Amino acid sequence: MEVIGHRANSRRIALFYSIVGVKAVEVDVSLSRGRPMALHGRPSIRRATPLGRLWGWIDYKLFYRDPLYKPTPLERWLEKLWEMGFEKVVIDVKSAGLEPERLVEEVVRGWPGKAVYTSENHRYLKMLKNQTGAEIYTTYSILPVNVTGPAVEAGADGVAIRFDLAAEKGVVRALREAGLGVIVWTVNTVDQLEKVRGLGVNGVVSDRPDIILKDLRGKE
């Protein structure tokens, strides 16, 4: 089972992933200053009350972490990750406006290894696939009535699915029977890992790959 380090958008986090032996990392990408940047971007929800806006500000500062780091052009950040020894990158597209061919060109310039693209914007992923032939995984943060439908319609190679959705009976089996790869996010505990281990998933995205890798290695 592949273990992918979640949101490797800062040197501190990437260094931690490198030290614990992770070989694949996810990078959030948004359009800023007219070019693809290693940047999550602000959440689309705008709180209606003063207290809600305060909590939203705290959430963005501490969870999304963008304000804590200087935004880095994607090509340059990928070069740094490659130098740190990672072998695969998952490009998680967060914002609209990223021209598919330009995005892939920037990734190729900065990253000699394998790249996979994910997004909740399935329409964008389909354009990306049609224009560049890139490997794409549709992100599921809600569960569609037809589990395989959105991924198949987008021409996806697989699905990146939220943990609680993947744990529902028959979901992963349906995706696998349709020939789709399955990556589950975000898996940070041994209990979560145990729930997905027997489902036949291809990989998990984790903020605590040290915990996940230790358990996997102990049961080889």
Q: In sequence order, what are the beta bridge partners of 116?
A: 90
CA 74, 90, 192, 189 dihedral sign is: negative
Q: In sequence order, what are the beta bridge partners of 33?
A: none
Q: What is the pLDDT of residues 59-111, one digit of tens each?
A: 555 555 544 567 799 999 999 999 999 999 999 999 888 999 999 999 999 99
Identify whether 105 is part of a domain: yes
Q: Tell me what percent of the residues of the chain surpass a pLDDT of 90.
A: 78
Identify whether 94 is part of a domain: yes
Identify whether 44 is part of a domain: no
pLDDT for 136 beyond 60: yes
Q: What is the dihedral of CA 105, 111, 114, 120, to 10 degrees?
A: -60
Q: Tell me what percent of the residues of the chain surpass a pLDDT of 70.
A: 87
Q: What does DSSP assign to residue 64?
A: I
Identify whether 164 is part of a domain: yes
CB-based contact 43:63 (threshold 8 Å)? no
pTM as predicted:
0.89
Query: What CATH number has the domain bearing residue 186?
Result: 3.20.20.190
Give φ, ψ of 45 to 5 degrees: -75, 130
For residues 181 and 218, what is the distance between their CA atoms, to the nearest angstrom? 25
pLDDT for 44 beyond 60: no
